[in-house]
A = this chain, B = another copy of it.
Amino acid sequence: MANIKEIARIAGVSVTTVSRVLNNHPYVSDIKRAAVLNTIEQLNYSRNMNAVHLITGRTGAIAVILPYINLYYFSIVMDGLAHEALNAQYRLILCQSNYAAEEELKVLEMLRNKEIDGVVIVSTALQPEVIEEYTDYGPVITCQDSGERRFSSVYIEHYEAFWDGLQYLSSKGYRKIGYCEGRQNGSSASIRQSAFRAFLSERNLPFREEWMVYDCMTEEDGAGVALSLLDMQDRPEVLIITGDHVAAGLIIEARKHGLRIPEDLAVMGFDNQPIGRLLDITTIDNHLYDMGAAAFRIIHEQIRTGSRVPVHRKLDYEIIERGTV
């Protein structure tokens, strides 16, 4: 495979000139530029980017850590990231970690090894303290509120969003509110849960452990909740459920058994997924695409400018009023 030296020799110039042509530098005479371009064409030359990466210390790649790419939440964030990356001519390295901290750590090691220019973390397996140990090696951004850290973050206030959602339910006259949460290992789950408890207590609304469901992650889990509600003596009037697909499972199963939504049971979702629109589910849109896009823009800016000052960006959410409340 031809290299820059050979191009220089054949074109009758120095390697420096070839390099200048390759990088569109000024100060190359048209005649020499043409000669270089010509031999490049003739030899079907292509740059070995690894040499470029070595000497420049940059790779033009950013790694993304997320647990499962085929879950709605993550695939939408990834969509936002990928869209911006395409614009910025940046490459995205995907690490599907299954929440394995050890795998996520390997990605941070890649940052240390200069294989990548930055890391976007859309997972919760790593402690903030661990992440901070790598901030010297390049910019890192997480997609949740990690407080004042040496890395950046972009997030929505889950506490606030959940509180607002509950307020909305309350304003509709509901008093008996149940709660359906997904995976428990995320910090946002516990934040939402505390918002839930605080709200009930502030408003003097009844809290019942039977109205709380945890680790409810799939459509089928939602359907299971519907079944368990059927037998319940004292049912909640409304359920707030993280993940519209779970809400969808619940609604479909509930209707199958004659439960009217929202008359017999109201439902408020979370995520604003396509299935939610289809089933006319009232939900909270947490702007996942924007989150991914913002994360990329922030980290890209930090790489570009070399700034190590962490940026913390809070995003909006939005209650989507539809028919299940």
Contacts and interface: CB of A to CB of B under 8 A. Distances in A.
Nearest to A219: B278
A98 to B, nearest CB: 8
Interface string A256-295: 0000000000000000001101110000000000000000
A110 interface: yes
A243 B68 CA distance: 21
A70 B59 contact: no
A218 interface: yes
B249 A93 contact: no
A303 interface: no
A185 interface: no
A46 B92 contact: no
A286 to B, nearest CB: 15
A184 interface: no
> Could you say which of A79, A91, A95 has the most chain B C-beta atoms within 10 Å of its C-beta?
A91
Contacts of A82: 69, 94-96
B278 A252 contact: yes
A223 interface: yes
